[in-house]
């Protein structure tokens, strides 16, 4: 028998009329709303997924495992239970806060599983990584929770696993970053105090580097480290050995000289930026030349850099502080006077032929790139010679075979008169 909707109107205690309601009509809950309000039952999800995985033959094949997971995904809510899905595939069971297992129930296939036994020749690390890659290609929404929450949290529990298990996790995450191109944000967890303790984080990072470099170049790895948000790999070292000497010794012992060379370049780049900024700031603050020299000497004592590089950075710091707002026809004279005033801050560090030729080339390249002071080059060179920053032999050598290719013919031409004069002076001295 059909029901005819009737409208009921009630008056509440305050006397205000209540909103009319429909009686006799069954209002269905929307599917999305039902999912959002559904009870969160991770153990129920786990048990359901284990039923699907129990159908995978042993020894397993990756194709069979992928097929069963994709089939399970048609009925199970992978997005809602993504953390539990990953826990089963990585560590085999559900985890409590803090990293301990919730109970004794385990997946038959997971990354930390020992090889052999019913697995046969199927490698759990490679097999699960390939499985994840193909499942995530099917369910793209799983990649973000994997890289943004699950893996960073999992690496926070590293101390819970033994050395062999940590090695498997390092291999798996390196492969996921390379092959699935997941964001390497998880590496920031290695700098947490409880992970740094007892070199747990360092041990993991070393194994991660080894696996990564077996598949990709050091430049590729360097880009990954930059994207990870790990500010400095030294932060993974325990505080008592957190310095360059221990870093070099560790990676030399581990047979990873590429890491030592890469880190040296990174450290040098940081010193470069700091030097340029410091010189520019001190000039703008009207510090004396002597104060600038003392600062640079203290920096060299604490974090030494090659003198050829340091001289170039000092010059770049000058140019950063220089007032470029003057009229174009006055820039040449202004920059020469500026260089002459600051020459005493460079002279103490420009020792030896390499540093002297290097600073000439630094000025050459700068003038080539910023043509506003292109004509000032020979005058700057004269200032360098008159203030003992460079010798006559350094200028002659630069002119004969040491000049950079950038605008080379132009710079050789405009300095020909100076070089002729220096060669004549040198001949007279010899006589």
Q: Taking 60 as the threshold, does the pLDDT of residue 179 lie above it?
A: yes
Positive/negative CA dihedral, 199, 201, 204, 208: negative
2 falls in which pLDDT band (50, 70, 90)? Answer: very low
Q: Taking 70 as the threshold, does the pLDDT of residue 368 lie above it?
A: yes
Average pLDDT for the chain: 90
Q: Taking 90 as the threshold, does the pLDDT of residue 408 lie above it?
A: yes
CA distance 168 to 173: 9
Contacts of 176 (CB under 8 A, 6+ apart): 129, 132, 133, 146, 182
What's the whole-number mean pLDDT along residues 23-39? Answer: 57
Q: Could you give all domains of the chain from N- to C-terminal order, each with its CATH number?
A: 41-264 (1.25.40), 271-430 (1.25.40.180)
Q: Residue 23: what pLDDT?
A: 59
Beta bridge partners of 8: 21
Top pLDDT among 11 and 227 is at: 227
Top pLDDT among 424 and 346 is at: 346
Tens digit of pLDDT for each residue in 59-81?
A: 899 999 999 999 999 999 999 99
Q: Taking 90 as the threshold, does the pLDDT of residue 47 lie above it?
A: yes
Q: Taking 70 as the threshold, does the pLDDT of residue 8 lie above it?
A: no
Q: Taking 70 as the threshold, does the pLDDT of residue 37 lie above it?
A: no
Contacts of 39 (CB under 8 A, 6+ apart): none
427 falls in which pLDDT band (50, 70, 90)? Answer: low
The answer to whether 423 and 396 have CB atoms below 8 angstroms apart is: yes
Q: Residue 221: what pLDDT?
A: 97
As given in the structure block, the two tokens for residue 279 are 């010189």
Tens digit of pLDDT for each residue in 87-131?
A: 999 999 999 988 899 999 999 999 998 877 778 889 999 999 999
Tens digit of pLDDT for each residue in 264-275?
A: 999 999 999 999
Q: Residue 7: what pLDDT?
A: 47
384 falls in which pLDDT band (50, 70, 90)? Answer: very high
401 falls in which pLDDT band (50, 70, 90)? Answer: very high
What's the whole-number mean pLDDT along residues 385-401? Answer: 95
What's the whole-number mean pLDDT along residues 299-312? Answer: 93
Residue with tokens 């050091």: 218
CA distance 371 to 347: 25
Max Cα separation, the chain?
128
Tens digit of pLDDT for each residue in 162-177?
A: 999 999 999 999 999 9
SS (H, E, C) 338-361: HHHHHHHHCHHHCCCHHHHHHHHH
Q: Taking 90 as the threshold, does the pLDDT of residue 3 lie above it?
A: no
40 falls in which pLDDT band (50, 70, 90)? Answer: confident
Q: Residue 428: what pLDDT?
A: 63
Q: Residue 430: what pLDDT?
A: 58
The answer to whether 59 and 120 have CB atoms below 8 angstroms apart is: yes
Among residues of the chain, what percentage have pLDDT more than 90? 83
Q: Residue 389: what pLDDT?
A: 96
Tens digit of pLDDT for each residue in 200-220?
A: 999 999 999 999 999 999 999
Q: Residue 4: what pLDDT?
A: 47
């Amino acid at each position: 028998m059909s029901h005819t909707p009737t409208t009921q109107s009630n008056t509440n205690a305050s006397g205000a009329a209540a909103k009319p309601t429909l009686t006799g009509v069954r209002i269905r809950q929307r599917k999305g709303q039902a999912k959002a309000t559904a009870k969160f039952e991770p153990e129920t999800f786990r048990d359901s997924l284990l039923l699907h995985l129990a159908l995978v033959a042993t020894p397993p094949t990756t194709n069979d495992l992928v097929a069963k997971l994709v089939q399970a995904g048609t009925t199970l809510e992978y997005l809602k239970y993504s953390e539990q899905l990953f826990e089963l595939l990585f560590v085999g069971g559900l985890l409590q806060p803090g990293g301990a297992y919730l109970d004794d129930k385990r997946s038959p296939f997971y990354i930390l599983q020992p090889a052999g036994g019913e697995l046969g020749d199927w490698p759990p690390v490679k097999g699960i990584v390939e499985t994840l890659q193909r499942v995530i290609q099917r369910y793209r929404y799983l990649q973000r929770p994997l890289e943004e929450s699950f893996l960073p949290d999992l690496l926070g529990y590293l101390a819970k696993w033994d050395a062999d298990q940590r090695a498997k996790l390092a291999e798996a995450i390196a492969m996921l970053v390379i092959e699935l191109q997941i964001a390497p944000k998880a590496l920031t967890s290695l700098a947490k105090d409880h992970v740094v303790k007892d070199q747990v984080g360092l041990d993991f990072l070393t194994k991660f580097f080894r696996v990564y470099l077996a598949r990709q170049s050091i430049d590729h790895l360097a880009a990954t480290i930059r994207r990870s948000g790990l500010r400095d790999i030294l932060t993974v070292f325990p505080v008592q050995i957190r310095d360059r000497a221990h870093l070099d010794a560790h990676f030399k012992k581990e047979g990873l000289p590429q890491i030592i060379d890469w880190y040296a370049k990174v450290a040098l780049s940081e010193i470069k930026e700091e030097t340029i900024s410091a010189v520019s700031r001190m000039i703008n603050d009207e510090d004396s030349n002597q104060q600038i020299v003392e600062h640079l000497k203290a920096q060299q004592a604490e974090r030494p850099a090659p003198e050829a590089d340091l001289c170039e950075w000092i010059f770049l710091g000058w140019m950063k502080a220089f007032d470029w707002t003057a009229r174009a026809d006055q820039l040449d004279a202004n920059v020469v006077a500026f260089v002459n005033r600051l020459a005493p801050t460079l002279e103490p560090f420009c020792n030896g032929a390499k540093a002297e030729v290097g600073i000439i080339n630094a000025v050459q390249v700068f003038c080539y790139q910023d043509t506003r002071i292109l004509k000032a080059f020979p005058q700057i060179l004269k200032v360098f010679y008159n203030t003992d920053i460079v010798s006559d032999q350094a200028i002659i050598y630069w002119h004969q075979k040491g000049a950079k290719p950038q605008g080379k013919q132009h710079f050789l031409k405009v300095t020909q008169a100076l070089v002729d004069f220096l060669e004549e002076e040198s001949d007279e001295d010899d006589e």
